Amino acid sequence: MNTRKVVYLFYTTLLLGTFSGALVGFLLDWRTHINDLANLQFGGIIMVIITASIWAVIAQMGFFAYLTIHRFGLGIFKSVQLWNRVQVIIIAFVLFDLVIFRYWAFAEGEGIWGYLIMPGLLLGYGLIVASIKSKETNRLAFIPALFFIVVVTTIEWIPALQQNDFTFLTTSIVPLLVANTWQLLVLHRLQEPASKSDGKNNKTK
């Protein structure tokens, strides 16, 4: 990608992540925010926007970190299939840890079943996004896409996972997922024009 496309990816991801996170933050406490706006008090809504933008930036850092790790993994294992198997194992470990560690930390005489919901929803969402990515590119992209949505998003989500607060968990995961989904699904579209133009250039040579 050229610089213009990188800048486009940065700003669109920031805007989408910030907007989605701010919208969810506003809706979860809409009475308070409406009262503040009616009284010309903007501090609360400004903090919601700033917090959402921070999560969007974290998602961007995670995305570029994963691109580096993905290339590094391919270089180590010398095979896309082998690297994908390693990623599947890591996905399973992360989902297991997402259940068991939060259960150990926050369960107070309750069953473990409730702690399966959040990882299950994340896995289900990851499967949907990975299916879209593989259809738009190739079948080998399925596992890396699933890994990115599940594992990388979970790592980015760690500050919120340390708290057992529904509002904090929701207002953090929404901008992360929106930003990560956008980056994942738009990346190959940004790369397509360059590859097509290269193909045309090769044909004319």
User: What percentage of residues in the chain have a pLDDT greater than 90?
Assistant: 72
Tell me the mean pLDDT in the region 3-14: 93
Span 154-202, pLDDT tens digits? 999 999 999 989 999 999 999 999 999 999 999 999 886 544 444 444 4
Span 49-93, pLDDT tens digits? 999 999 999 999 999 999 999 999 999 988 899 999 999 999 999
In this structure, what are the phi and psi dihedrals at residue 2, rounded to the nearest 5 degrees? -85, 175
The average confidence (pLDDT) of the chain is 90
H or E element at residue 152: none
Amino acid at 72: F
- Which is it for the CA torsion 77, 150, 126, 156, positive or negative? negative
Contact 80, 74 (CB under 8 A): yes
| Domain residue ranges in the chain | 58-196
